[in-house]
Structure 1
Amino acid sequence: MVSVTDTPTLPTVEVFGPTIQGEGPSTGRPATFIRLGHCNLSCSWCDTPYSWDATRHDLEAEITDRPAGDLLDVVAASGEPVSLTVLTGGEPLMHQRRPGMAALLDGLDELDQDVEVETNGTIPPTDELTQRPRVRFNVSPKLAHAGMDEKRTLRPGALKQFAALARDGRAVFKFVATDRDDLEDVRDIVRRYSVPARAVWIMPEGTQPGQLLASARDLLTDPYLLRMGWNLTPRLHALLWPNERSR
């Protein structure tokens, strides 16, 4: 195991696995998850408010500064066949310049891990991060139903950079959607930033199996999504373990 007790820290909510990635192109792939704390957005339907919302949760209890070596020990304990680590949040890129992030990514490379960074797409990734060949980005720009102004959720500089990474096969765009209006908003964003259709994934909104399946059926009843050549992703973890943490 990697055991480095004096490495820099990261604000960590939870580490869990082995489990499966439940969303996007890696759906069903065995993975270990590292959930970092804090977020620069406040989506009305967020399913992990305990990672950032101090009005509803005790963040001092939820978020702990953990050494990167401690996080790497958990990844190593997941076992050799598990070769994917997902950095999620909160918003992981809030912490990309911390020494703890570099220490974590160096260790994950030593453990032969692919890395997926789940981000809301408002913070441009650093060159140091994008130059790591094993790192990919799952970018989830927020639409109007997230309850925030577009000036806050859609940051052109960051989205241009992520779109370029998508064209190079280093990023995908995941959009939470409920209806045709949402899909038309997705179309506008995709066209504005030249995101290739193959890199666009539509994810139904919801945390309960019935809601998720109904939303997915509604999205596919209208052939718009298929005509655009986009992908549909389930929220497999929410279907299997609704409202359960650390699964």
Structure 2
Amino acid sequence: MNQSSQKRILVDEIFGPTLQGEGPMVGMPVVFVRTGGCDYRCSWCDTLHAVLPRNRKEWRAMTASNILDEVKQLSNDPLWVVVSGGNPALQPLEELLRSGQQQGYRFALETQGSIVPDWFGQIDHLTLSPKPPSAGMETDWSALKKAVEIAKTGCAHLKVPVLNQADLSFVADLRKRHPELPLTLQPVNAGAQSGALQDDDNALHEKLMEQMRWLHEQVVARHWYDVRVLPQLHVMIWGTGRGV
């Protein structure tokens, strides 16, 4: 396809190879393509640079070919490409997925499942992260169900950040609605709620570990033995900010 005829994708940043920091692929070497724009405004969002319209001037409108060229410059050999955001479901990613897969790349995508384009069926690994009450957003259960139905067999996973007991009740409901899907829980990055913690690595790490210990205890008490509990590995290693 001619570049001039390709649809434009809003991109906040492209970086890597780095380690996938959260969810079921945690620890795997990947390149990140973080898109710009989101239909949610979560109270504890830690990537507002990819969410808020005021940052739009920093985003690039790129073709699929542009993006793949940058990915190739970062990685000598094809590897997993994680498409995140913001909400990447807002972007026209069909050509990026098709072209990249033809060249040996595999694509993992992370989204809350609020918007469900048909190209979800092209994703090699789809992480659906519906947001619990502490985020201050409403989950569209019908949209989430549609996303699960469109996804390739066996490639959809659930991931939920958890802050409090209300969030755990949300998780219990989610488990009943989608018992067929693997589920990962992670403690909410409390540093996203406190600017002071963002600049203090020791305080941020301790708060994350405090939340991690609490979440582990809650999961065991409920006998949720099929659930993974994982921290945000990238935050523990590099802290918060771009390019991690």
Given that 2:16 and 2:31 are in contact with CA atoms closer than 8 Å, whether structure 1 keeps it comes out as yes
Q: Give 3-state SS (helix, strand or coil) of 1:35's partner.
A: strand
Once the 2 structures are TM-superposed, how far is the Cα of residue 105 of structure 1 from its aligned partner? 1.0
2:238 corresponding residue in structure 1: 241
Structure 2: distance between partners of 1:9 and 1:166: 24
1:200 corresponding residue in structure 2: 183
Which digits, 9 at most, give the CA deviation of each residue in 1:107-146, with x for residues without a partner?
A: 21123112111101111231x430x2x5221111011100
Going from structure 1 to structure 2, the CA distance change for 1:166 and 1:226 (only over 3 Å counts) comes to: farther
Q: TM-score, normalised by structure 2?
A: 0.85
Where do residues 224-235 of structure 1 align in structure 2 (5 Å cutoff)? 224=221, 226-235=223-232
Alignment partner for residue 174 of structure 1, among 159, 162, 166? Answer: 159
Given that 1:167 and 1:195 are in contact with CA atoms closer than 8 Å, whether structure 2 keeps it comes out as no
Going from structure 1 to structure 2, the CA distance change for 1:181 and 1:144 (only over 3 Å counts) comes to: closer
Please report the RMSD computed on the Cα atoms of aligned residues, expressed in angstroms.
Answer: 2.1
Given that 1:18 and 1:82 are in contact with CA atoms closer than 8 Å, whether structure 2 keeps it comes out as no
Q: Give 3-state SS (helix, strand or coil) of 1:211's partner.
A: helix
- Higher mean C-alpha displacement, 202-211 vs 176-185: 176-185
- Number of paired residues? 228
Q: TM-score, normalised by structure 1?
A: 0.84
| 2:107 paired with 1:107 | no
2:168 corresponding residue in structure 1: 183
| 2:33 paired with 1:34 | yes
Going from structure 1 to structure 2, the CA distance change for 1:182 and 1:166 (only over 3 Å counts) comes to: farther
Given that 1:32 and 1:82 are in contact with CA atoms closer than 8 Å, whether structure 2 keeps it comes out as no
Going from structure 1 to structure 2, the CA distance change for 1:119 and 1:89 (only over 3 Å counts) comes to: same
2:80 corresponding residue in structure 1: 84
Q: Give 3-state SS (helix, strand or coil) of 1:26's partner.
A: coil
Once the 2 structures are TM-superposed, how far is the Cα of residue 175 of structure 1 from its aligned partner? 0.4
Alignment partner for residue 116 of structure 1, among 93, 108, 116? Answer: 108
**Unaligned segments of structure 2, at least 5 residues:** 192-203
1:13 corresponding residue in structure 2: 12
Structure 1: distance between partners of 2:145 and 2:98: 27
Once the 2 structures are TM-superposed, how far is the Cα of residue 235 of structure 1 from its aligned partner? 0.5
1:71 corresponding residue in structure 2: 67
Q: Give 3-state SS (helix, strand or coil) of 2:15's partner.
A: strand
The one-letter amino acid paired with 1:84 is W
